[in-house]
Amino acid sequence: MRIAVCPGSFDPVTLGHMDIINRASTLFDKVIVLVSVNSSKKYAFTAEERVELLKKVTGNLENVVVESDSGLLADYLKKKNATAIVKGLRAVTDFEYEFQMALTNKKLYPEAETVFLITKSENMYLSSSIVKEIASYGGDIKDFVPEPILDTIKERLVKDK
Ligand code: PNS
């Protein structure tokens, strides 16, 4: 069985993430969407909230599960016997950072390959940060996040302001 891990902050999950998760689910037998910790970020949603939001919008995908972990991705891959890390690539600006992570993960756990899926062009400039920024001003984020979690995200982010 080919197991892939799709790691990220997902703070919160966007339509860009959903596109990558959907496509990964057609390429692998099982996809674990992993809410992970990027130590350079401050999160608006707790790990539990991010997992809940992801579960709500991936429930229809039979081979996708959502988990969270606060350790090294390489250790998690080993524990789960995963052979791939799936990441989405947007503009060239993502590249340097993703390149560094892919090489580091390969060093720490050579058994897994990092697979990059190129984003759909309409998601090229979409990010969780942009969603949070717009929502915190009460702006419309319906084109950026999955419909079933739109209200939850809006309520939480406006309240934070
Ligand atoms: O969505 P993000 O913030 O770009 O995702 C980055 C993330 C969470 C995938 C990355 O920071 C990560 O893998 N964190 C887990 C800890 C780890 O393994 N760090 C070393 C990465 S080379």
Active site residue 17: yes
pLDDT above 70 covers a percentage of the chain that reads 98
Most confident range, picked from 46-50, 119-123, 154-158: 46-50
Task: Report CA(8)–ligand 1 centroid distance (Å).
Answer: 6
DSSP state of 44: S
Judge whether residue 161 has pLDDT over 60.
no
Task: Report CA(48)–ligand 1 centroid distance (Å).
Answer: 17
Q: Does residue 89 have its Cβ closer than 6 Å to ligand 1?
A: no
Domain ranges of the chain: 3-156
Active site residue 128: yes
Q: With bands split at pLDDT 50, 70 and 90, how would you rate the model's confidence at 93?
A: confident
Structural domain 3-156, CATH architecture: 3-Layer(aba) Sandwich (3.40)
Judge whether residue 92 has pLDDT over 70.
yes
DSSP state of 2: -
Q: With bands split at pLDDT 50, 70 and 90, how would you rate the model's confidence at 159?
A: low
Tens digits of residue pLDDT in 3-27: 999 999 999 999 999 999 999 999 9
Tens digits of residue pLDDT in 62-86: 999 999 999 999 999 999 999 999 9
Task: Report CA(161)–ligand 1 centroid distance (Å).
Answer: 27
Q: Does residue 7 have its Cβ closer than 6 Å to ligand 1?
A: yes
Q: How high is the pLDDT of residue 13?
A: 98
| Burial zone of 92 (CB within 10 Å; 0-12 exposed, 13-18 middle, 19+ buried) | exposed
Active site residue 90: yes
- Own/partner pairs, 45-51, CB within 8 angstroms, 24+ separation: 45/11, 45/12, 45/156, 49/12, 49/156, 50/9, 50/10, 50/11, 50/12, 50/13
Among the listed residues 41, 79, 129, 142, the single catalytic one is 41
Q: pTM for the whole thing?
A: 0.96
Of all protein residues, whose CA lies closest to atom 11 belonging to ligand 1? 38
